[in-house]
Structure 1
Amino acid sequence: MRILFVCQRLPFPPNKGEKLRTYHQIKYLQESGIDVEVLAPVESESELRDAGELRDSLGLNVYPIMRKFNVFNYMKGLLTETALSVAKFYDSEVQSTFERILSTVKIDSVIFSASSLTPYWWRMSQTTDIRAYCDFMDVDSDKWHQYAETAGFVMKWIYKREARLIRELEIKSCVSLERCFLIAEKELEIIANFLPDNASLPLAVGNGIDTSEFYPSERQSSFVLKEHSSLEFLFVGVMDYKPNVDAVLWFVENVWPQIVSKYPQARFRIVGMSPIPKVIKLADRKGIEVTGKVNDVSEYFRSADIFVAPFTIARGVQNKILQAMATGLPVITSSKGAEGINCKHRQDILIADEPDTFLASLDFLLEGDHFRTISQHARQKIVEEYSWEKHLQVFKQTITGELNESS
């Protein structure tokens, strides 16, 4: 069997949410004896080299297409009633390469890594018997609705337009494609509310964590509570992505001053590529460091004491929270951040939506043996329930037809 992955971004190196998920899907299928080919846009010479590393490390064919984003893509999208997510990533050379591969290579199934990529399929969907799937990951239309709730007039209009057009793509995909996938059961509840009767409900395929990469350090394993004043807090994420930006801004404005007042030597590290000016400026505050891109994010997990993820906007499962839990790093997050993760408040995670409850959660964590027990429970939860192999079995079985044969 041969599968073609059409990716929104090159899934290598696997250093952020969507890349991680797609990379592990590809790796799992390839190691299961399925031939995998990858078609993805690249935007630099370094990404071209990354494409070569992906090819060599997993032993598969990679078709990297060099593209440069043009602002006129957005203008064309606005004029043609096209979702801006589609306009941003659509590329005519990707389209022609996609059609050439399908006409010259024996491909059994195509997997799109985002709903915004499905327009590549519609032009030829009636002339082929190849099966097509889409990994939505999250219900993106709902994310755009969330953006609109707090935006100003112009951006509210843009976000609402994007939500409507992406929802149309999500519906069309669930009606026309073989099957679609989402990360979490919570996402299924959301999409079920607007799918028509002739649409297939997507399957939930959760994310996993590589526990050989994310594991507790000796420092975390032997954490003692005698030096509260030097606590190190951590947030990890791409720092031009609105949900991440909103989360750290909320934390710094609403919680950090009280923490520094109580623990004067406390530090807050914001780790991740592409920090926007508002995030960079946070480094002017006492105890805050903004790193930008780092070579090995796992080192920062192992050197921290507490992971914070106070999301005001979120969809799907937050890989960064799973990574923190895998390293035994206690997590304080919002209700939205905890969505999709099988976790219990004050057992293997702490959930807080307001500044007062966030600070109360920190106090609870530093009382008695709570830090140690939550750290241990978090790590155990990941080991037992969040392996990639466990979550990707149903993904493989669906694409190969094994699930239908056994049902």
Structure 2
Amino acid sequence: MIEILFLSHRIPFPPDRGDKIRSHHILKRLAQIAPVHVATFADDERDFAEEPELARITRSYCLVERRKPLALAGVEALLERIPVSLMAFRSPAISRYVRDLVARRPIGTIYVFSGQMGQYVPASFTGRVIADFVDVDSAKFEAFAAKGSGLRRWIDAREGRLLRAEEARLARRAHVSLLISQSEANLFRSRLPADGKAKIAVRALGNGIDSAFFDPAGVAPAEAMLAVPGPRLVFTGQMDYAPNITAVERVMDRILPAIRQREPAASFHVVGRNPPSRLTDRDQRDGIHVWGRVDDVRPWLKAADMALIPLEIGRGVQNKVLEAMAMTLPVVLTPDAATGIDAASRREFLVAQSDEDLVAAVFALLDDPAWAHGMGLAARDYVLENASWDAALSDLPEIVDVGARTARHAS
């Protein structure tokens, strides 16, 4: 029987951040299609604690600690003239595992999760290659460069330029390239070189959400957050991720002070792992609460009055938005945060762009509790009807094409 190799830049367990949530559900679905082998990285001891789960679902695996400092990866990337993102995920152990696995097992499909892992696809491999870019990383770094200055601007511009070339290389190598939404797929396609673009297959494979897990009926609110006066606004996410930091500082510096001029008791709650000191230093000041890593985000969403997600740079579908919607929380967000979610503003969430409009949107919902409540209910209905994982991954067997090729091989 033909088998699958799944290459992922992070171990798909636990599913507690956006990229790991997607890779987790894709891996589980692939394991239902054919035997799966996995090569991936662990960032810390908590990741290694998930090794039994990885072993349970796979035929074999290679789990490597990612220990190279980013500064060292940057220097090496400069010397080799490659993106830092690739050098940071370079591992001789994974290279050996992939080479040996392809030589001794009937690997028919290699599923590349995130562009950094495309470097491990052997040049001699003749099977099917699926490149799941998730979103357009090169465009994200170009956006960072446009907002930056000095050395940081040069670094981000270099990364964006080199990643764009690597994305095109991997897209040409792959049988199909996947992006998280149709808008992201259109953007990816528009950035490919004109030469040979027509022969590159690009399509959307969306994200889903476990609406049975993210159900407000099954969870109690976080008491620590309830003890803080309201209205309580919440932002959840990986807090060492630059766009999330920028969004949170936007609230802390400009949006929350404007809200507190009218609502002095209003508070803003940041929930997510690895917040930097520039955020934690502001904890317990001026209505700001930085909770850091929590075991379960649902009680914190349940304790909030509203989710406020003012992303300035957003690529792909934001899980934090879908999670808040599933928990019947009214969501105020920017167009970047709403990308890829085909919900209606003012019905399932409320979209605003400028600081002034975001403040006005918050006040509009606070002043009309019935509207806010109805928006939360409509948001959950949207998730139930449009954002299940079963629906999101329904095309995966056809994309992977293992069954058809197994039948052809047997004949």
Q: Same fold (TM over 0.5)?
A: yes
Q: Give 2:7's aligned amino acid.
A: V
Aligned: 1:193 with 2:186: no
Q: Give 1:392's aligned amino acid.
A: L
Of the three residues 172, 179, 202, the one matched with 2:169 is 172
Q: Give 2:371's aligned amino acid.
A: H
Deviation at 1:33, TM superposition (A): 3.8
TM-score by length of 1: 0.91
Unaligned runs of 5+ in 2: 222-228, 406-411
Paired residues of 2:41 and 2:65 also in contact (CA < 8 A):
yes
Paired residues of 2:33 and 2:402 also in contact (CA < 8 A):
no
Deviation at 1:272, TM superposition (A): 0.7
Aligned: 1:5 with 2:6: yes
Q: Give 1:162's aligned amino acid.
A: E
Aligned mates of 2:43, 2:248 — CA distance in 1 = 28
Paired residues of 2:178 and 2:185 also in contact (CA < 8 A):
no
Q: 1:355 to 1:176 in 2, by over 3 A?
A: same
Aligned to 2:245: 245
Across the two proteins, how many residue pairs are aligned to each other?
A: 393
Q: Give 1:257's aligned amino acid.
A: P
Secondary structure of the structure 1 residue equivalent to 2:107 = coil
Output aligned runs, 1:7-406, within 5 Å.
Answer: 7-30=8-31, 32-56=32-56, 58=57, 60-70=59-69, 71-121=71-121, 124-125=122-123, 127-195=124-192, 196-199=194-197, 200-217=200-217, 230-366=230-366, 367=368, 369-400=370-401
TM-score by length of 2: 0.91
Deviation at 1:29, TM superposition (A): 2.3
Aligned mates of 1:258, 1:321 — CA distance in 2 = 23
Q: Give 1:149's aligned amino acid.
A: A
Deviation at 1:305, TM superposition (A): 1.4
Aligned to 2:408: none
Deviation at 1:341, TM superposition (A): 0.6
RMSD: 2.1
Q: 1:193 to 1:67 in 2, by over 3 A?
A: closer
User: Which range moves more in the overlay, 87-96 or 139-148?
Assistant: 87-96
Secondary structure of the structure 1 residue equivalent to 2:395 = helix
User: Which range moves more in the overlay, 258-267 or 152-161?
Assistant: 258-267
Secondary structure of the structure 2 residue equivalent to 1:269 = strand
Secondary structure of the structure 1 residue equivalent to 2:379 = helix
| Cα distance per residue 1:265-309 (max 9 Å; x no partner) | 222110111111111122142221111111111221122110111
| Cα distance per residue 1:138-159 (max 9 Å; x no partner) | 0011000100011112111111
| Cα distance per residue 1:318-340 (max 9 Å; x no partner) | 01001100111111001111111
Unaligned runs of 5+ in 1: 222-228
Paired residues of 1:216 and 1:329 also in contact (CA < 8 A):
no
User: Which range moves more in the overlay, 112-121 or 383-392?
Assistant: 112-121
Paired residues of 1:148 and 1:159 also in contact (CA < 8 A):
yes
Deviation at 1:243, TM superposition (A): 0.4
% same residue: 29
| Cα distance per residue 1:353-391 (max 9 Å; x no partner) | 112211221122131521121111100000000011111
Aligned mates of 1:219, 1:11 — CA distance in 2 = 25
